[in-house]
Amino acid sequence: MDRIIHPHYFYPPLKKGGQGGFAVKRVCQGILPPFILKRMAESPDKITRRWALENLAASAAARATRTTLSTLPQMAAIPSPAGKKHRLIYDAQHKPTHALPGKLVRSEGEKGPNGPSKDPAVNEAYDYSGDTYDFYKEVLNRNSLDDRGMSLISSVHVGQHYANAFWDGEQMAYGDGDGRTFVRFTKSLDVVAHELTHGVVSHTANLEYQGESGALNEHYADVMGILVKQWRRNQTVKQADWLVGADILIKTFTRKALRSFSAPGTAYVNDPDIGTDPQPAHMKQKYEGEDDYGGVHINSGIPNHAFYLAAMQIGGKSWEKTGKIWYQTLLSLSPRSDFAAIAQGTVEKATILYGSRSPESKAVKQSWISVGIPPK
């Protein structure tokens, strides 16, 4: 990212790999798993195939060129002027990911040229990043992603027909979708909150993006995305749809969302463009291969389902008890924490918060037993 000059604040240049500092190479975590893009590249529709191949190339370029201070993530956090909610929205003008952030088009509380836009993508990125900030602040008492009020920077209209959204360690980037399978990626509040939560994970447990720890990284992003959506809609656990990414898909009979908490593996089935949802709901079906960084988007279905089972058993509104148990557990995890660690950690946090014989503690323990990860 280049040096950003804002009328009210000066941002220093961010240190990148090869430019000094302690920057290391990092995976750009996109909401679309690589196996979906690969499946789209085999679509019977030639336009979908062509755009999917372009998306794969763009994603590979992003992973190769975008870097962050994952060993010292606080050095990548751009502070806000007053240490509180501060959003900056840029228009990438369909340029590739290496040209981010783009042209500043909306900023916090501004009127005039940098105020509300006629562009829905700009306003969605602004509003939904604000909802995410408000959730963390009001529900979890966390001041932005780093808990120090870092600015929330977003770029919309990234690339040509770019079907993905990602957090790169410093900012959000949103594509407009291919118009055939996916619409603009700012349209879904849970997608925005999911990707921003990768920033929260980086500033807390900093879960390594590989294997079970990587699946937990995706799990927490999914959980917080679901929680922000339910909180914003004021839904109970029984009213919620428990789907991730439903608003970015062009619906057909074979696809309804990217992931399902209530029934992993059913979000899309035998779809000609994106295939079949591979997420398991139980450790018996855990993916053991090397694709998708060891199945980070696949095996996250297991803890996702455990969260759903716990939330449904506890009842009420998911963010009030279940979400707080999960968030407090995140603060106690480490980069290589695995499924056993989160199972044990959530039971311990539930016990601390509500008591060892409480319905909440029993519900959390049973949820992990039900997915094949019995806590000790």
CATH number at residue 43: 3.10.170.10
Mean pLDDT, rounded, for 345-373: 97
Tell me the pLDDT tens digit for each residue of 242-256.
999 999 999 899 999
Both 102 and 196 in a single domain?
yes
For residue 376, is it within any domain?
no
Banded pLDDT at 328 (limits 50, 70, 90):
very high
Least confident of 15-24, 201-210, 327-336: 15-24
DSSP symbols for 72-90? SGGGT--B-TTSS--EEEE
Catalytic, out of 297, 305, 348, 360: 297
At residue 112, the pLDDT reads 59
Mean pLDDT, rounded, for 161-175: 90
Q: Which domain, by its residues, includes 334?
A: 211-370
d(CA 225, CA 195): 8
Banded pLDDT at 97 (limits 50, 70, 90):
confident
Banded pLDDT at 177 (limits 50, 70, 90):
very high
- Residue 32's Cβ-count burial label (10 Å; 0-12, 13-18, 19+) is buried
Both 313 and 220 in a single domain?
yes
Both 196 and 232 in a single domain?
no
Catalytic, out of 54, 124, 170, 195: 195
Does residue 195 carry a catalytic annotation? Answer: yes
Does residue 348 carry a catalytic annotation? Answer: no
| Residue 226: CB atoms within 10 Å | 27
**What SS3 class is residue 107?**
strand
List of residues 6+ apart from 118 with CB closer than 8 A? none
Both 61 and 145 in a single domain?
yes
Mean pLDDT, rounded, for 67-82: 51
d(CA 213, CA 326): 15
Half-sphere CA count of 353, side-chain side, radius 13 A: 21
Please state the pTM of the whole predicted model: 0.88
Are 249 and 241 in contact by the 8 Å Cβ rule? The answer is: no
CATH number at residue 241: 1.10.390.10
Looking at the 3D structure of the chain, how many domains does it have? 2
List of residues 6+ apart from 148 with CB closer than 8 A? 74, 77, 79, 83
At residue 58, the pLDDT reads 66
